[in-house]
Amino acid sequence: MLSRKYLVLSMSCILLSLCSSALYATEPQNLQITKNTLINYHDSGAYEQDIDAVVYQAQAYLSEVIAEQQKQKSKEKLAIVFDIDETVLSSYDQMHRLTFGGTLDEINRLTAEERNAPVIPAALALYKQALKENVHIFFITGRHNTSQQQKNTVQNLHAAGFTQYDGLMMKPVNYNKPSASIYKTAMRKKITDQGYHIVLNIGDQMSDLRGGYADRTYKLPNPYYYIP
């Protein structure tokens, strides 16, 4: 007869084996297949279509706000906040060159240094609509606030058509908070404290949008990287 201690040990081993089997019952998708899916999403035009669909909603809301503003006797200083990378400028070429590897800092450094990130057309259309209606423009980016990165970013924005704006806010080099949303929320609060009314905030990460200080938020698709 088996001892009770042996039975307990045997049952534990069986349960552990079953749990391990359940945990790895489905093999994760092969990394190269995942990368090919990302490439196809971009090259098929689906990525741009998804961006267009979100920006269209933002444009429609902005039109509503402008129409309502025109009915008011006192006019507020309306503002829009844009993120930069994967919101108004695309880093896809740099990501593709790195085979969707590397760190976010490496992607940002390459994009900023080369100063040729192509414009995201829908974002430029929203920007032009805002300017036409005298809505103020602010950029809040996770790019580091160094003199060189600032110079490179301004050159790229201007080359892409973003030549008029009220503020460019860049992340401090020594920023060490667990989420980018802490910094971005603080910047939106700063804009609000200056008397602006942020009607919409648009970005590709949830950390671009969390924290308030905007009437509406619009999340653009980005399956390429994640910023907490």
Confidence of residue 8 (pLDDT cuts 50, 70, 90): very low
Report pLDDT digits (tens) over 27-82.
889 999 999 999 999 999 999 999 999 999 999 999 999 999 988 877 899 999 99
**25 inside domain:** no
Residue 98 lies in a domain: yes
Residue 95 has pLDDT above 70, yes or no: yes
Which residues constitute the domain of residue 99? 30-219
The residues pairing with 201 across neighbouring beta strands, listed in sequence order, are 81, 217
| Average pLDDT of the segment spanning 72-98 | 93
Give the pLDDT band (50/70/90) at residue 7: very low
Number of domains in the chain: 1
**12 falls in which pLDDT band (50, 70, 90)?**
very low
Mean pLDDT of 186-205: 98
Q: Give the model's pLDDT for residue 111.
A: 86
Domain containing 46 — which CATH number?
Answer: 3.40.50.1000
Query: Does residue 204 lie in a domain region?
Result: yes
Residue 22's pLDDT is what? 52
In tens, the pLDDT along 125-161 reads 999 999 999 999 999 999 999 999 999 999 999 999 9
pLDDT, position 104? 83
In a domain, 164, yes or no: yes
Scanning the chain, the segments in alpha helix (DSSP H) are: 4-23, 31-43, 46-71, 92-97, 104-114, 121-132, 147-160, 180-193, 206-209
The answer to whether residue 84 sits within a structural domain is: yes
Q: Are 164 and 153 in contact (CB under 8 A)?
A: no
